[in-house]
Amino acid sequence: MTSEDDDVITTDVAKELMPAIGKGQVIPVISNAFRLEQIFRDDEELSRMMAEVPQFYDEFRTYTQQLTKKWAASINYPMSDDHNLARVAQYEYSQVEKGGSGLVSLGSFEDPREKYIQFLIARLLALAEKDERYESDEEYRNVVSAFKKPSRGKTRLFSEVASQLGYPRFDIIEDPLRLLARLPVKIYITTSYSNFLERALEKEGKTPRTQVCFCPEDLITDPDHLPDREFRPTEKNPAVVHLFGLEDYIETLVLSEDDYINFLMNAAENYKSDDLFPSYLRGALPKSSLALLGYHLREWDFRTLFRFISRIRNIHDTDKPSIAIQFKPPMRRKEEEARSLKYLETYLNRGKFMVEWSSAEVFIHKLWAAWDAWNT
């Protein structure tokens, strides 16, 4: 089934995925930016920065890129590409050097990954202080104030702060992660550093199992978070696979350019290691339809993930249809848009992905509506 939109024909993938969802053969793949965009779209300063971007200059047209620009300014990043998180993180890494005992200070050292997470928390607390509830609700104000105090012992997690403050807000539409969590999915893959997906699954009455892949065992303190070769995911007990680390273990985060290159090298070397990449996931990837949600084609996380997934699917010569959800890039002229869309579709088709030109939120709501209708 097809629909016409500005002369571009796209397949109604949401409906075509129904049989695969029913068989448990769909794996949603969710970006880190997906939740960040939802949380920080209420940030007035970031919204103003977005509005100031020229209409056809799509390089900086996401909230996560504006957020990165603010972090770059806070650490005095000197280059012009201050919207590029991997490069900004790479600069911050360059401010420390590695010694025999690991990272050592050139000044007052703080791990760049920890610095980034704490920047997000500080930004969120500033947003919460401008919330109307901050003035009217004493309990809410106390929660914000408690988070602003220096922590003792365990480092605060961004997902914990966001969840306790009630972010992101969904006043009109349902939370897209809750809709994904309702689907009969056995495996979710995410490149998020936080456990927002696990929280959504728990709210839907499920018991997710967090699996952090391709990380040294000594960095993971909770054995349940290590890849488990004996684990068999089910709809009620699904696996949530974090490919780029988890903020609970700050050293596991894949954040800088070097981190992404190291991830690809590590994945290529340990692809068949059950201790780092369990067989249930290795077997499911080529046999399932994947849905890439919330990624931006120019970002390092997408390019690294796409290379990793494409390699696995090419090794097994899979014919399973998969989908990448993408916004149309803004162009000055109609002919530029047509050429751009053709190039992007060709690029993604090499990895055996079709393209749906939509936002991830819109697609998820359409997917849930199609499943709800198909399943009744």
More confident residue, 14 or 56: 14
| Dist CA 180 CA 233 (whole Å) | 16
Evaluated on CA atoms 66, 63, 42, 164, the torsion sign reads negative
The domain ranges of the chain are: 2-35+174-374, 37-165
On whether the CB atoms of residues 112 and 77 are closer than 8 A, the answer is no
Q: Range with the lowest mean pLDDT among 124-138, 177-191, 342-356?
A: 342-356
Strand partners, 183: none
Name residue, tokens 């892949």.
Answer: 213
pLDDT of residue 324: 84
Segment 35-55, tens digit of pLDDT: 999 999 999 999 998 888 765
Mean pLDDT to the nearest integer, 290-296: 91
Mean pLDDT to the nearest integer, 265-291: 92
pLDDT of residue 107: 44
pLDDT of residue 94: 85
Question: Under 8 Å CB-to-CB from 140, ≥6 apart: which residues?
Answer: 128, 131, 133, 134, 165
pLDDT of residue 97: 52
Q: Read off the pLDDT band of 105 (50, 70, 90).
A: very low
Position 258 pLDDT exceeds 70: yes
pLDDT of residue 33: 95
Give me the architecture of the 2-35+174-374 domain, per CATH.
3-Layer(aba) Sandwich (3.40)
pLDDT of residue 185: 97
Mean pLDDT to the nearest integer, 140-147: 93
pLDDT of residue 297: 82
pLDDT of residue 14: 75
Report field, pTM of the whole predicted structure over 0.85: yes
